[in-house]
Structure 1
Amino acid sequence: MAESTQSAPAVPTHGAEAHAAPGTTHEATGAEHESGGLPQFEFQHWGGQIAYLLVLFAILYVLVARVFTPRMRRVIDGRASTIAGAIDAARQVQAEAMEQSKAAAADLAEVRAKAQGVASDARAKAAAEAAERSGAEEVKLAAQLAQAETRIAAMRDSAMASVGTVASDTAMAIIDKLTGKSASAADMKAALAARGGAA
C-alpha cells in the first residue's frame, strides 16, 4: 500500500493554471475596458503628466526668455532707433530748410533794398541831369531871345529911320508937286521937328 501510495503519479496542475490564467486575463481586459481607455483621466497617471508639463513649460520658458524675447527686443529696438534717427534727420532737414529760408528772405530783402537804393539814385541822377539840361536850355533860350530882341530892336530902329527918310522924301515930292518948288532937307527936318514938338 505504501508503494502504491508513493508510486501514485502526481496530478498535473498545469491545466488548472492554464484554465485559471485566461480567466484572470479576461477580468483584467474587462477592467481596462470599464476604465474608458484614457489614461490621462486616471489619477495614477497625473503625476507623470504634471512632470512632463513642468518640463515642457520650463523648456518653453527658457526658449522664450533666452531666444525669442531677445530677438524681438533687438528687432523692436532696431526699429525704434531707426524711427528715432529718421525723425531726428527730418527735424534737422526741416531746421536747415528753415534757416535757408530765413537766409534767402534776408538776401531777398537786402537785394530789394539795394535795388530800391539804385533806383532812387538813378531817379535822383536823372532828375539832376534833367534839371541841368533844362537850365542849360533855358540859358540858351534866354541868350537866343536876347539876341532876337536885339535884332528886332535894331531892325525896328532901322525901319523907323527908313520911315523918317521915306516920309521926308515923300513930303518933299508932294511939296514939289503941289508948289512946284523943291524944299530942302533942312526945312523938312525943321518942319518935322516942329510938328513933333507940337504933337
Structure 2
Amino acid sequence: MAAETTSPPTADLRDGHTAADAAPGHGPAGTTEVAAHGADSGGLPQFKFEYWGGQIVWLFLIFAVLYTLLAKVFVPRLRKIKDDRAATIAAAVTEARSVQAEAEAQAAAAQAEIAEAHSRSRRLASDAKTKAASDLATSQKAEDDRLQAQMDAAETRIRGLRDQAMTNVRGIAADTAQAIVEKLTGQKLSTAEVNAALAAQGAV
C-alpha cells in the first residue's frame, strides 16, 4: 500500500487547450466570445444603426436598377403598347366612319333611284293612260263615224224604199181610181188625167 504513488495530472494538449479549458462548464475562448456577442446583439441587424449605411447604399443601387429597368424597358414597352392600341382604335374608328359614310351615300343613292323609279312609273302610267284615252277616243270616233255612215245608208235606203213604196201606192191608187171612174161612169180615163186628179187631190 505504501508503494502506491500518485501521478501528477498530465496536460491534455488536444486542440492546443489544457485540461482545465476542457473542464465541464468551460469551452474554447472563441466560442465563449461568439456566444457572448450573440447574447448581446438581440433583435434584427437591419434596425441597428451601424448597418444603415450599407442598407442605404443597397437601397439606392436597387432603386437605380429598378428605375433604369422601368425607364428603359417597361415604360417604353407600355407606352408603345398604349400608342399601338390608340392607333388601332383610331384606325378602326376612321374605318367605321368611312364605312358609315359609304353606307349613308349608298342609302341616299338607293333612295334617289327609288324616287326616280316611282316618278318614271307614274310618268309611264300617265302616258299609258293618256295613250289609252286617245286610242279610245280615236276608236270611239271611228265607231261613231261607222255607225253614222250605216245610219245614213239606212236612212237613204229607207227613203228609197219609201219613195218606191209611194210610187207603187200612187200607181195602185191611179189604177184603182181609173177602175172606179170607169165602173161608175162607164168612161175610161187616161193615165194623165188620173195622175192630174191625184196630184190635185194631194195638193188639196
TM-score (structure 1 length as normaliser): 0.74
1:65 aligned to which of 61, 65, 71: 71
Q: 2:21 and 2:62 mapped to 1: Cα distance?
A: 46
The answer to whether the aligner puts 1:150 opposite 2:156 as a matched pair is yes
State the shift of 1:30 in Å.
3.3
Q: Structure 1 CA distance, aligned partners of 2:31 and 2:114? A: 109
2:81 maps to what in 1?
75
What residue number does 1:29 align with? 35
- Give the equivalent residue in structure 2 for 1:40: 46
Aligned residue in 1 for 2:141:
135
**Alignment-mate amino acid for residue 165 of structure 1:** G
Structure 1 partner of 2:132: 126
**Is the partner of 2:90 in helix, strand or coil?**
helix
Aligned with 1:99 (options 101, 105, 108): 105
Where does the alignment leave 5 or more consecutive residues of structure 1 unmatched? 1-13
Q: Distance in 2 between matches of 1:132 and 1:197?
A: 49
* Partner deviation per Cα, 1:136-160 (whole Å, 9 max, x = no partner): 2222222221111111111111112
Q: How big is the shift at 1:18?
A: 5.4
Give the Cα–Cα distance (whole angstroms) in 2 for the partners of residues 98 and 133 of structure 1: 51
Do structure 1's residue 108 and structure 2's residue 114 form an aligned pair? yes
- TM-score for the superposition, normalised by structure 2: 0.72
142, 167, 170: which one aligns with 2:173 = 167
> What is the match of residue 55 of structure 2?
49
Write 1 or 2 for the structure with the bigger share of helix. 1
In 2: Cα distance, 1:101 partner to 1:133 partner: 47
Cα offset, 1:190, TM superposition: 5.0
Seen in structure 2, the aligned counterparts of structure 1 residues 140 and 148 have a Cα distance that, compared at 3 Å, is same
Report SS of the residue matched to 1:53: helix
Q: Which runs of 4+ in 1 moved over 3 A?
A: 14-25, 167-176, 178-198
Q: Which consecutive residues of structure 2, in runs of 5 or more, have no partner in the other structure?
A: 1-16
Q: What is the match of residue 6 of structure 1?
A: none
Measured in 2, the distance between the counterparts of 1:163 and 1:37 equals 168
- 1:63 Cα deviation (Å)? 0.3
Q: Could you give the per-residue CA deviations for residues 19-41 of structure 1, whole angstroms, max 9, x where no partner exists? A: 89846743541341343352222
Identity of aligned residues (%): 47
- Kept in 2, the 8 Å contact 1:172–1:182? The answer is no
RMSD (Å), alpha carbons: 3.1
Which residue of the partner structure matches residue 5 of structure 1?
A: none
